[in-house]
Structure 1
């Protein structure tokens, strides 16, 4: 029988792994936006796996509160933990929870957290309710928040043959002239990924629309 969920036990287990020597280069890699505990990815994954193995996950009513409390902790590893916890309960999430995911995307925003949330968690929710989920993606694509724009662009990243090409085009074209590096990279990334499924579509898209050099280069990266 598993132990009850206990966030404080988990936090203590991570504190025991704190490594100030490693924390500084990790912080530098993320442009000094966040403090770090200094736990490398393999050790963090192993500690998380061990904790999940012996503790019950919180139920849906507690889940979002627990995720938010962990996400708000200062060190960057805790944002990764919060996202991992949310991913463990992915099938319990629905379109109504996209508002909560918006809060995560716009809090402590950087590419690592947004890219862990948008193509997997957000993408899965939208795929299960395309009508209502796509309405939210259009709202995000119209937002003044660049990270919500990036999330909207990337939500179909893993859809492959289930990609809604019309929506892909509409959302990309809203931002195709953006000077934001992270927006151009997102457009290039989603096109590059979809080119693995439908290279003809991506080649035609690049020919028809004027893309910035970074985006165009990324989109055509693996197309001969």
Structure 2
């Protein structure tokens, strides 16, 4: 246990030394950390994502225990490191027990996966992979997360579909898009539209069928994201359908 705490302290200190105060100030603005904003109170060190990824790779192997403790740290970049490590370990391990431990740690600490970059880095490679491997339990988990009162758990559910789309599994995207389409937060409108767009890149027919039903009523941000890769004529048509939306 002492060795583990020394490793945690060393890792956090290393990242502190890598930080750039000017970048940290910019990140606090970019990730909306002010009072009443979605990232309220988050702390940044000011480290680029490529540098965090390089550090994670250089210091492998990571244990689930260490990554879980890093995920509980206050600094955003330390939590991002932990989530990158969890995602990479989930991909590389051949141990079913280790994957269960990663999934349990992730789901047990979703309160720390509390900004869109943290969600988008981890949800496809952990939750999406789990749903692909265990469709019945996984889809029940997606529905549970989508019904949460937490914006971030709801975004985890939606963005996990990015991996399922890669596998040609589209039903969860359509199901969750309908559940979350009228979410009050713009970040969910973006997530829903983004996943619909990714699905449409593979199955335009499914996207068009969804839009035929929902374009006239869906939030304008979600619509813009969803139609981004369609033809100019199609985009004009669907934007006209949704012209009454804000």
Corresponding residue number in structure 1 for 2:234: none
Q: Alpha-carbon deviation of 1:96?
A: 7.0
Q: What is the total number of aligned residue pairs between the two structures?
A: 213
Q: Structure 1 length normalisation: TM-score?
A: 0.84
Corresponding residue number in structure 2 for 1:23: 24
Corresponding residue number in structure 2 for 1:168: 173
Mapped to 2, the partners of 1:222 and 1:13 lie a distance apart of 42
Q: Which moved more, 1:188-197 or 1:23-32?
A: 23-32
Q: Please report the RMSD computed on the Cα atoms of aligned residues, expressed in angstroms.
A: 2.3
Deviations 1:176-211 (A, max 9, x none): 222211111111000001111001110111001232
Q: Alpha-carbon deviation of 1:129?
A: 1.1
Mapped contact 2:56–2:85 kept (Cα < 8 A): no
Q: Alpha-carbon deviation of 1:14?
A: 1.8
Q: Alpha-carbon deviation of 1:89?
A: 1.4
Mapped to 2, the partners of 1:10 and 1:161 lie a distance apart of 34
Mapped contact 1:105–1:117 kept (Cα < 8 A): no
Matched, 1:50 2:58: yes
Mapped to 1, the partners of 2:169 and 2:227 lie a distance apart of 20
Q: Any gaps of 5 or more consecutive residues in structure 1?
A: none
Moved over 6 A (4+): none
Matched, 1:140 2:145: yes
Mapped to 1, the partners of 2:167 and 2:18 lie a distance apart of 41
CA 1:16–1:200: 2 relative to 1, 3 Å = same
Q: Any gaps of 5 or more consecutive residues in structure 2?
A: 34-39, 232-246
Corresponding residue number in structure 1 for 2:44: 36
Q: Which moved more, 1:113-122 or 1:6-15?
A: 6-15
Matched, 1:215 2:234: no
Corresponding residue number in structure 2 for 1:127: 132
Mapped contact 1:105–1:147 kept (Cα < 8 A): yes
